[in-house]
């Protein structure tokens, strides 16, 4: 039996007048979030590390929706790049209202005993330190503004579900959960909410090998109680909610979007 994904519901203009920074917006979840925000009325600053063409295609889709888009190169492992990102945001739009910490890296598995310490440091720098410093730069930019703000981090089910050979990646994602919680406490009186999304198997380029191989895809989807992989827009809609006024009383929380995968390990549903 096939289990197709539904279509997204119409946008409701919930982010009209807002400026959102989305890191890692060349493809996949980041691009889907950027487009969903544009459909809801936001203007966007999009970052890429190496895939400039992908980011510019995302920008084209955003402008087709009637919103503005600025494309900025940013290596999240480079603190100077992060500062330059928010300087570029301020120059084009003023202070950002929303930060989507989506960018990161997912390297090939390797046992910790065989890992080059420089690789460990790079993964933690991009996946954990980068989002933390982006949040810090965002908050500094918001300090003189009214109306609070929103920080949404895109993590992974692997902050809860460990895998052999991915200690650096899984550790970085676990750190994002505690970063979310501590920042939520720090920023409550500033009315800046901080929340975290944990996607499971989502049909994005990072999963292309599994998507293209029907046997591998079937094996992976068989572990998901919903019996299908997720679509990027299904993550994007949660990000829209958390970035909107509808989620004004929601902070310090983590939301898993995985069709039940993380609660099914060993259960055989």
State pLDDT tens for residues 75-90. 999 999 999 999 999 9
Exposed/middle/buried for 174, CB within 10 Å: 0-12, 13-18, 19+? middle
**Tell me, what's the pLDDT at 144?**
84
Question: Above 80 in pLDDT, residue 222?
Answer: yes
Q: Is 98 left (phi over 0), alpha (psi -120 to 50) or beta?
A: beta
Question: Above 90 in pLDDT, residue 111?
Answer: yes
- Secondary element (H or E) of residue 29: helix 28-39
CA distances (Å), 85 to each of 53, 105, 160, 201, 205, in order?
A: 18, 19, 30, 30, 25
pLDDT band at 11 (very low <50, low <70, confident <90, very high): confident
Is 3 among the residues known to form the active site?
A: no
Residues 6+ apart with CB under 8 A from 268: none
Number of CB atoms found within 10 A of residue 152's CB = 26
Question: Above 60 in pLDDT, residue 62?
Answer: yes
Percentage of the chain surpassing pLDDT 70? 97
Number of CB atoms found within 10 A of residue 157's CB = 17
CA–CA separation, 44 vs 36, rounded Å?
11
**Tell me, what's the pLDDT at 212?**
81
Number of CB atoms found within 10 A of residue 66's CB = 10
Q: Please name the residue ranges forming H helices in 93-192.
A: 117-124, 130-142, 167-186
**Tell me, what's the pLDDT at 269?**
45
pLDDT band at 268 (very low <50, low <70, confident <90, very high): very low
Query: What are the extents of the domains in the chain?
Result: 19-204+231-256
142-201 pLDDT, tens digit each: 988 988 999 999 999 999 989 899 999 999 999 999 999 999 999 999 999 999 999 999
Q: Among 3, 169, 241, 249, which one carries the catalytic annotation?
A: 169
The top-level CATH class assigned to 19-204+231-256 is: alpha beta
**Tell me, what's the pLDDT at 251?**
99
Between 117-124 and 167-186, two packed helices, what is the crossing angle to 10 degrees? 30
CA–CA separation, 151 vs 23, rounded Å?
12
């Amino acid at each position: 039996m096939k289990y197709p994904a539904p279509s997204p519901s119409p946008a409701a203009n919930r982010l009209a007048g807002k400026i959102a920074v989305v890191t890692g917006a060349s493809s996949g979840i980041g691009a889907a979030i950027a487009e969903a925000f544009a459909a809801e009325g936001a203007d966007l600053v999009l970052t890429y590390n190496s895939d400039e063409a992908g980011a510019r295609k995302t920008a084209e889709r955003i402008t087709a929706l009637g919103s503005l888009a600025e494309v900025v190169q940013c290596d999240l492992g480079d603190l100077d790049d992060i500062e330059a990102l928010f300087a570029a945001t301020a120059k084009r739009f003023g202070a950002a209202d929303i930060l989507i910490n989506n960018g990161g890296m997912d390297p090939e598995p390797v046992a910790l005993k065989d890992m080059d310490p420089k690789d460990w440091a790079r993964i933690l720098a991009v996946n954990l330190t980068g989002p933390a410093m982006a949040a810090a730069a965002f908050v500094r930019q918001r300090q003189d503004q009214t109306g609070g703000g929103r920080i949404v981090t895109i993590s992974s089910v692997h902050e809860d579900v460990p895998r052999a050979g991915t200690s650096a990646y899984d550790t970085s994602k676990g750190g994002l959960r505690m970063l979310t919680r501590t920042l939520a406490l720090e920023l409550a009186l500033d009315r800046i909410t901080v929340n975290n999304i944990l996607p499971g198997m989502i049909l994005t380029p990072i999963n292309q090998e599994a998507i293209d191989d029907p046997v591998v895809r079937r094996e992976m989807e068989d572990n998901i109680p919903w019996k299908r992989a997720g679509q990027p827009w299904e993550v994007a809609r949660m990000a829209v909610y958390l970035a909107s006024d509808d989620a004004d009383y929601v902070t310090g929380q983590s939301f898993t979007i995985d069709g039940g995968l993380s609660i099914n390990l060993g259960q055989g549903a």
